[in-house]
């Protein structure tokens, strides 16, 4: 079974719709992240959370919001989707503190989102 799962894997939606992408992990990690990947731009950080009560904006948080429902769950929402949010979205996790001071991250399989 995958340690980091994302649902849905593919989604097509229309401009203006609200959409939620979900991420769950069984690795027992405290830290969770949302990235988006665009061709030629690599991965860019949207939001990250170091625990249930600690949520932080990343490089490109405008137009997105997140919810950390539990240690194992971290959701990304697009309140009103727009076409330039069409991208591949990845969730990642990492342990905190002394177990991984160098912040190695473990990635889910990705969600391909298309906004028409």
105 binds another protein (CB under 8 A): yes
Quick check: helix, strand or coil at residue 106?
strand
> From the list 93, 108, 113, 115, which residue makes contact with another protein (rule: CB under 8 A)?
108
73 binds another protein (CB under 8 A): no
44 binds another protein (CB under 8 A): yes
Angle ∠(64,81,10) on CA atoms, nearest 5: 95
Give the Cα separation of 82 and 3 in Å (integer). 30
Binding site for another protein (CB under 8 A): 4, 33, 40-45, 48, 50, 56, 58, 90, 92, 102-110
């Amino acid at each position: 079974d995958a340690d980091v799962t994302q649902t849905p894997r593919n989604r097509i939606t229309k401009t203006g719709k609200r959409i939620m992408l979900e991420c769950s992990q069984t690795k027992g990690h405290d830290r969770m992240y949302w990235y988006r990947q665009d061709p030629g731009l690599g991965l860019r950080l949207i939001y990250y959370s170091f625990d249930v009560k600690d949520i932080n904006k990343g490089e490109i948080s405008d137009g997105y919001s997140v919810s950390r429902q539990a240690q194992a769950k971290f959701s990304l929402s697009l309140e009103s989707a727009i076409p330039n949010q069409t991208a591949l979205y990845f969730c990642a996790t990492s342990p905190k503190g002394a177990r991984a001071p160098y912040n190695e991250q473990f990635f889910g399989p990705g969600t391909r989102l298309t906004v028409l």
